[in-house]
Amino acid sequence: MRRLISTLIALSMLLALGAPAFVSLGQKATPGAPPDRASQPPIDPAQDPAQPGHAILHKMPKGARIGSTPEQIAAWNNLSAADKARAGKILRDAVAGARQNQELKKHQNDDLPNSLNLSFSKQDRSRQLRPANLQKKGEANLTSALKLKGKDRYLTLASTKAASNVTILKDSYKRRGTETQRAHALKRALSQPFDCSRAPEQFVRTFYEGALARPPHADELTYWMDTLATAQSNSTTLAAVQSLGNTLFQSQEYANRGRSNVNFVYDCYKAWLHREPDQSGWDFWTNQADVNGQPAVLQAFVVCGELSDHVAEVCNVATYDGDQDSTVDQFENQVADAFTPYYHVSAYDPDQFATFNDSTSAPESIKQLFGTTPISHFRVHKEGFAYDANNNVVGVLRIDYLTFWNYDSGLVSGGACAWNLFGLDDVLAALDGHYLDHERSAMLVAAPISNGDYNLDPANYSIYNIFTTGHEFTLTDQSTWYSYFTNPVPAGNHVNLFLSRSKHATYAFNPDYMPLTPWYIIDGTFEALWLAYVYNEIPWWLYYALLAAANDVFFSCLTERFTEQGGQYALVRTAVGEPGVPINHSSYIAVSTINTQLTTSYFH
């Protein structure tokens, strides 16, 4: 009943037939831009998931064609108003019938390939392909990333909602283990009581926000956190903080802000003293700046007692655990950086990456926009212990990488698509544009335990499972799981992710023209049209016209669009902490749309 064609054939048909037909029905074509691969080793384009159409999980239903023939398009264009009304009824009936076909729905993923190449970038941006096992959506027994040796079942790794799953992990390990103390490692809190009141990372971030009105870039944050950690171990913390503040206020970037003296003094209070200025102090130092210049005032803040009092209250980078998950935050940052995705944003994306204000009110209010420069927010969470394919006990971390946008501008295709004839209102509603857009990917990483507990060297971790989402929690959900259980991908390899234009759904391949209508609906609709034709219920010219409309809606209108323009790492990366214990002013993670992402289980 159904026929699968290879993605290569789909690609060639798409290229050969697709674009002209789509354009003729009103789809706006977008000019292509070659990816930036000048300094990269050659990759076989036929294997490359960055190539348009390559890794689209296409299945071609019987009778379906990607791209209508000129005859079909002419047939559609020649329909009278009465004929179009008739065509609309036939299409709605065909779609309605397809939706009720439970058999089709049940088997819609049977033809998915077993593996797909994923592309990884190193720090030098060189790329490498690695085959991943593709796990099927809705499969009752997803191959887990890690399994418990000697047990005839897979581990359930994941649910942060159901604490019992974590208990299963610990208990399973405990039952088998000779080293039961390890089973309790999760429970061990970090031993140091904090005689400190200022989170070190927030301390650095406040300097940046105060001086430069932006968050530190990932490399800047890493540099200053490392500097701070070293200084704390050498008892030179004040000097390090003074150096941080001087660096920012003496930078070209600060000079470029062109701040007046009154604003400069305000910036100094916010950056150096982490507070609003009191009026008398503000007036006094503004006058000093007028008389003696900004550099003289800057040095007064550098040596002021209030600053050194604050510095004495900064917690130790090496031990600080702000989100209270028994994991040092600095380690969480390092391990998240070791795997941070390499994002490909589509050319012509009308929307912008955003950060949010520190508030639990919904909807989140936008703090700052960054254009199409990727900004990520991440969360690292301990999942427990398990056995890898080689019978090693490993500590497992789940890392969620969130990408927040100011808008979802909806489908790219214009108004000429005849989707109003199809009875797909709920599909369209799910794909309609809206304010704010939270997208994400996630991965399971693990490393052999060390001293009976989690390994604290990020370089020892590897990727066991990658999860990408698009239109999550809707009818058009495109969530995909990739397993690397037998060949985990080492730290320092960054998965290439592609964010579709204006919808921002996340894929591990170039999703251009990927259909978003559930496949059983597409499949069943074409089947119904074919049957209507062979049983002489409709004449050939109407059949042609219906094919043109169906091709257009399924393969041109209700599709992802993506235009490659090369990739980049997220410029700013912010740890948001744990649900209920946000850090770095991330209390917006309590808003349900974000909280749901962080608390929904996705490993089974």
State the nearest-atom distance from the C-beta of 328 to Ca ion, in Å.
Answer: 6
Q: Specify the 3-state DSSP secondary structure of 194.
A: coil
Among 327, 346, 406, 493, binds Ca ion (CB under 5 A): 327
Q: Which among 141-149, 265-273, 372-380, 384-392 is the span making contact with Ca ion, rule CB under 5 A?
A: 372-380
Question: What is the distance between the alpha carbons of residues 227 and 317, in angstroms, rounded to a whole number?
Answer: 10
Three-state secondary structure of 238-301: HHHHHHHHHHHHCCHHHHHHCCCHHHHHHHHHHHHCCCCCCHHHHHHHHHHHHHHCHHHHHHHH
Q: Which is nearer to Ca ion, 160 or 327 (CB)?
A: 327
User: Among residues 201 and 329, whose Cβ is nearest to Ca ion?
Assistant: 329
Told to check if 364 binds Ca ion by CB under 5 A, we report no
Near Ca ion by CB under 5 A, which window of 172-180, 196-204, 323-331, 531-539? 323-331
Minimum CB distance to Ca ion smaller for 322 or for 511: 322
By CB under 5 A, tell whether 323 contacts Ca ion: yes
Q: Does 201 bind Ca ion (CB under 5 A)?
A: no
3-state secondary structure of 206: helix
C-alpha dist (Å) from residue 81 to 75, 87, 416? 13, 10, 16
The residue written with tokens 């010219």 in the block is: 541
Phi (first) and psi of residue 45, to 5 degrees: -55, -30
Residue 40: which H helix or E strand, with range?
none
Q: State the minimum distance, in angstroms, from the CB of residue 45 to Ca ion.
A: 40
First to last CA, the chain: 31
Which is closer to Ca ion, CB of 315 or CB of 380? 380
Shortest CB 199 distance to Ca ion, Å:
11
Q: Output 201 or 325, the one with its CB closest to Ca ion.
A: 325
Binding mask 268-307 for Ca ion (x = CB under 5 A): ----------------------------------------
Identity of the residue, 397 or 542, whose beta carbon is nearer to Ca ion in the bound complex: 397
Q: Give the count of beta carbons closer than 10 Å to the beta carbon of residue 267.
A: 22
Q: Which of residues 376-395 bind Ca ion (CB under 5 A)?
A: 380
d(CA 197, CA 80): 75
| 12-23 burial code (b ≥16 CB/10 A, e <16) | ebbeebbeebbe
Distances (CA, A) of 193 to 11, 196, 245, 279, 302: 60, 9, 29, 37, 30
Q: What is the largest CA-CA distance in the chain?
A: 93
166 vs 380, beta carbon nearer Ca ion: 380
Query: Under 8 Å CB-to-CB from 286, ≥6 apart: which residues?
Result: 261, 262, 265
CB of 577 to Ca ion, least distance (A): 6
Q: Which amino acid is at 198?
A: R
Least distance (Å) from Ca ion to the CB of residue 226?
18
121/333 with CB nearer Ca ion: 333
Binding piece for Ca ion, criterion CB under 5 A, among 110-118, 217-225, 313-321, 482-490: 313-321
Q: Which of 220, 267, 321, 552 binds Ca ion (CB under 5 A)?
A: 321
Smallest distance, Ca ion to C-beta of residue 190, A: 9
The DSSP code for 34 is -
323 vs 408, beta carbon nearer Ca ion:
323
Name which position in 48, 220, 267, 329 contacts Ca ion (CB under 5 A): 329
Give the residue with the Cβ less far from Ca ion, 9 or 189.
189
H/E stretch holding 152: none
- Closest contact distance (angstroms) between CB of 442 and Ca ion is 13
Nearest distance from C-beta of residue 197 to Ca ion, angstroms: 17
Kindly compute the dihedral angle of the four CA atoms of residues 205, 209, 211, 216, in this order, to the nearest 10 degrees.
50
Q: How far is the CB of 332 from Ca ion (least distance, A)?
A: 5
CB of 504 to Ca ion, least distance (A): 24
Alpha helices in 69-199 (DSSP H): 70-77, 81-99, 102-106, 163-176, 180-183
> Which stretch, 108-116, 224-232, 329-337, 478-486, contacts Ca ion (CB under 5 A)?
329-337
Q: Token pair of 115, please?
A: 């593996």
- Site size for Ca ion (CB under 5 A): 6
Percent helix, strand, coil in the chain, to 5, is: 40, 20, 40
C-beta of 158: minimal distance to Ca ion in Å? 15
Nearest approach, Cβ of 583 to Ca ion (angstroms)?
Answer: 8
Q: Which is nearer to Ca ion, 364 or 400 (CB)?
A: 400
Pull the structure tokens for residue 156. 């359930």
Q: Which stretch binds Ca ion (CB under 5 A): 66-74, 316-324, 356-364, 584-592?
A: 316-324
Q: In angstroms, rounded to a whole number, what is the distance separating the alpha carbons of residues 461 and 445?
A: 6
Rg (the chain; Cα; Å): 28
CB contact at 8 A, 476 and 521: no
- Residue placing its CB nearer to Ca ion in the complex, 229 or 553: 229
What mask of x and - would describe binding to Ca ion in positions 400 to 439, judged by CB under 5 A? ----------------------------------------
Among the listed ranges 324-332, 335-343, 450-458, 551-559, the one in contact with Ca ion (CB under 5 A) is 324-332
Q: Which residues contact 170 (CB under 8 A, 6 or more apart)?
A: 183, 184, 186, 384, 385
Contact region for Ca ion (CB under 5 A) — 199-207, 328-336, 436-444, 474-482? 328-336
Binding residues for Ca ion restricted to 64-123, rule: CB under 5 A: none
- Of these, 267, 325, 337, 437, which contacts Ca ion (CB under 5 A)? 325
Q: Which stretch binds Ca ion (CB under 5 A): 320-328, 448-456, 534-542, 586-594?
A: 320-328
Binding segment for Ca ion (CB under 5 A), chosen from 2-10, 277-285, 317-325, 352-360, is 317-325
Q: Are 491 and 461 in contact (CB under 8 A)?
A: yes
Least Cβ distance, residue 209 to Ca ion (angstroms) = 22
Footprint of Ca ion on 564-583 (CB under 5 A): none
Q: Cα–Cα distance between 199 and 213 in angstroms, integer?
A: 19
Q: Which is nearer to Ca ion, 329 or 383 (CB)?
A: 329
CA distance 159 to 164: 9
Residues at the site binding Ca ion, with contacts judged by CB under 5 A: 321, 323, 325, 327, 329, 380
